Structure 1
Amino acid sequence: MEKGKEWILKVEEAKSRDVGRGIARIDPDVAREMKLTPGDVVLIEGKKKTACIYWPGYAEDIGREIIRIDGVTRKNAGVGIDDKVKVRKAVAKTAEKVTLTPTEEIRITGIEEYLTSVLEGRVVTKGDRITINIMGRQIDLMVTGISPPSDAVIIGLTTKISLSGKVAKEELRIPRVTYEDIGGLDEAIKQIREMVELPLKHPELFEKLGIEAPKGILLYGPPGTGKTLLAKAVANETNANFYSLSGPEIMSKYYGESEENLRRIFKEAIENAPSIIFIDEIDSIAPKREEVTGEVERRVVAQLLALMDGLEERGKVVVIGATNRVNAIDPALRRPGRFDREIEIGIPDKKGRKEILEIHTRGMPLAKDVDLERWAELTHGFSGADLSALCKEAAMRALRRILPEIDLDAEEIPAEVMEKLEVTDKDFYDAFKSMTPSALREVVIESPNVRWDDIGGLEEVKQSLR
Structure 2
Amino acid sequence: MKKDKGDDVVLRVTEAYYRDVGRGIARVDPEIMEKLGLQSGDVIEVKGKSTAPAIVWPGYPEDRGTGVIRIDGNLRGNAGVGIDDRVTIRKAEVKNAEKVVVAPTEPVRLMGGEAYLLRLLEGRPVMRGQKIRVEIFGHTLTFVVTATKPSGIVMVSRTTNIELKEKPTEELKRAVPSVTYEDIGGLKRELRLVREMIELPLKHPELFQRLGIDPPKGVLLYGPPGTGKTLIAKAVANEVDAHFISLSGPEIMSKYYG
TM-score, normalized by length of structure 2?
Answer: 0.92
Q: Partner residue of 2:58?
A: 56
Give the counterpart letter for 1:220 in structure 2: Y
**TM-fit CA distance, 1:25:** 0.6
Match of 1:227 in 2: 229
CA distance, structure 1, for counterparts of residue 184 and residue 116 of structure 2: 29
Look up the match of 1:155: 156
User: Secondary structure of the residue that 2:84 maps to in structure 1?
Assistant: coil
In 1, the alpha carbon distance for the partners of 2:53 and 2:237 equals 24
Aligned to 1:72: 74
Instruction: Quote the Cα distance in structure 2 between the aligned partners of 1:174 and 1:136.
Output: 19
- The aligned counterpart of 2:168 is 167
Tell me the equivalent position of 2:32: 30
- Name the CA distance, whole Å, in 2 between partners of 1:198 and 1:112: 40
Matches within 5 A, 1:180-195: 180-195=182-197
Identity %: 54
Q: CA deviation at 1:148?
A: 1.2
Structure 1 residue identity aligned to 2:232: L
Structure 1 residues 228-248: Cα deviation after superposition (integer angstroms, max 9, x where no partner): 111111111111112222333
Distance in 1 between residues matched to 2:187 and 2:165, nearest whole Å: 39
* Cα distance in 2, alignment partners of residues 96 and 246 from structure 1: 47
Q: Is the 8 A contact 2:108 2:166 kept in 1?
A: no
Q: CA RMSD in A?
A: 1.9
Whole-Å separation in 2 of the counterparts to 1:172 and 1:189: 23
8 A contact 2:99–2:160 mirrored in 1 = yes
Give distance in 1, aligned partners of 2:115 and 2:209.
55
Deviation sequence 1:428-453 (CA, Å, 0-9, x none): xxxxxxxxxxxxxxxxxxxxxxxxxx
Instruction: Give the secondary structure class of the aligned counterpart of 1:91.
Output: coil
Paired residues, number: 254
Q: Residues 243 and 103 of structure 1: is their aligned pair in 2 closer, same or farther, counting only changes over 3 Å?
A: closer
Greater helix fraction, Structure 1 or Structure 2: 1
Q: Equivalent of 1:207, from 203, 206, 209?
A: 209
Structure 1 Cα separation of the partners of residues 118 and 73 of structure 2: 23
**Displacement of 1:108 after TM fit?**
4.0
1:24 is displaced (CA, Å) by 0.6
- Letter of the 2:191 partner, please give it: I
The residue that corresponds to 2:49 in the other structure is 47
**Aligned twin of 1:142:** 144
Q: CA deviation at 1:180?
A: 0.6
Cα 1:18–1:114 shift into 2, 3 Å = same
Aligned residue runs from structure 1 range 263-278, under 5 A = none
List alignment gaps of at least 5 residues for structure 1: 253-280, 286-466
TM-score where L is the length of structure 1: 0.52
CA distance in 1, matches of 2:117, 2:101: 11
Q: State the structure with bigger RCO (CA 8 A, min sep 6), 1 or 2.
A: 2
Aligned equivalent of 1:118, options 111, 117, 120: 120
Larger Rg: 1
The structural deviation recorded for 1:172 is 4.6
| Offset at residue 144 of structure 1 (A) | 0.7
Counterpart secondary structure, 2:118: helix
Question: What CA distance in whole angstroms lies between the structure 2 residues aligned with 1:238 and 1:160?
Answer: 35
Which amino acid is the alignment partner of residue 167 of structure 2? K
Return the letter of the residue paired with 1:35. G
Q: State the distance in 2 between where 1:136 and 1:245 align.
A: 23
- Secondary structure at the residue paired with 1:241? coil
**Normalized per residue, which structure has more strand?**
2
Residue 237 of structure 1 aligns to a residue whose secondary structure is: helix
Question: CA 1:108/1:208 → structure 2, altered by over 3 Å: closer, same or farther?
Answer: closer
Q: Distance in 2 between matches of 1:181 and 1:49?
A: 23
Q: How does 1:338-377 map to 2 (within 5 A)?
A: none
Q: Which residue of 1 aligns with 2:19?
A: 17
1:220 Cα deviation from its structure 2 partner = 2.5
